[in-house]
Structure 1
Amino acid sequence: MRVKTSGSAAWSGGIKDGQGTISTKSGALTNYPYGLSSRYEGKPGSNPEELLGAAHAACFTMNLSRLLTEAGFKAERMDTSADVTLEIAGDSFTITSVHLTFKGAIPGIDQATFDGLIARAKSGCPVSKLFNCTITLDASLVS
Structure 2
Amino acid sequence: MKRNATAVWNGSLKEGAGKLTTQSTTLQNTQYSFKSRFEEGIGTNPEELVAAAHAGCFTMQLSAFIGETGAEIESIETRCDINLVEGTIISSHLTVNAKVKEISNETFQELVTKAEKNCPISKLLNTEISTTATLV
Task: Classify the TM-score, shorter chain.
Answer: over 0.9
Are residues 1:98 and 2:96 paired? Answer: no
Are residues 1:114 and 2:108 paired? Answer: yes
Letter in 1 for 2:116: K
Contact 1:65 1:74 in 2 (8 A): no
Unaligned runs of 5+ in 2: none
CA deviations over 1:22-81 (Å, ceiling 9, x no partner): 111111100000010000002110000000000000000000011111111231011001
Aligned-partner Cα distance in 1 for 2:72–2:17: 43
Letter in 2 for 1:47: N
Contact 1:64 1:117 in 2 (8 A): yes
Letter in 2 for 1:113: T
Match of 1:53 in 2: 51
Aligned-partner Cα distance in 2 for 1:48–1:74: 34
Larger mean CA deviation between 69-78 and 42-51 belongs to 69-78
Match of 1:11 in 2: 9
Residue 3 of structure 2: SS of its match in structure 1?
A: coil
Aligned-partner Cα distance in 2 for 1:75–1:27: 30
Unaligned runs of 5+ in 1: none
Aligned-partner Cα distance in 2 for 1:56–1:42: 22
Residue 93 of structure 2: SS of its match in structure 1?
A: strand
Match of 2:36 in 1: 38
Aligned-partner Cα distance in 1 for 2:25–2:69: 34
Using the aligned pairs only, state the percent identity. Answer: 43
Match of 1:127 in 2: 121
Match of 1:25 in 2: 23
Contact 1:81 1:100 in 2 (8 A): yes
Match of 1:69 in 2: 67
Match of 1:138 in 2: 132
TM-score by length of 1: 0.93
TM-score by length of 2: 0.97
Contact 2:72 2:102 in 1 (8 A): no
Root mean square deviation, CA, Å: 0.7
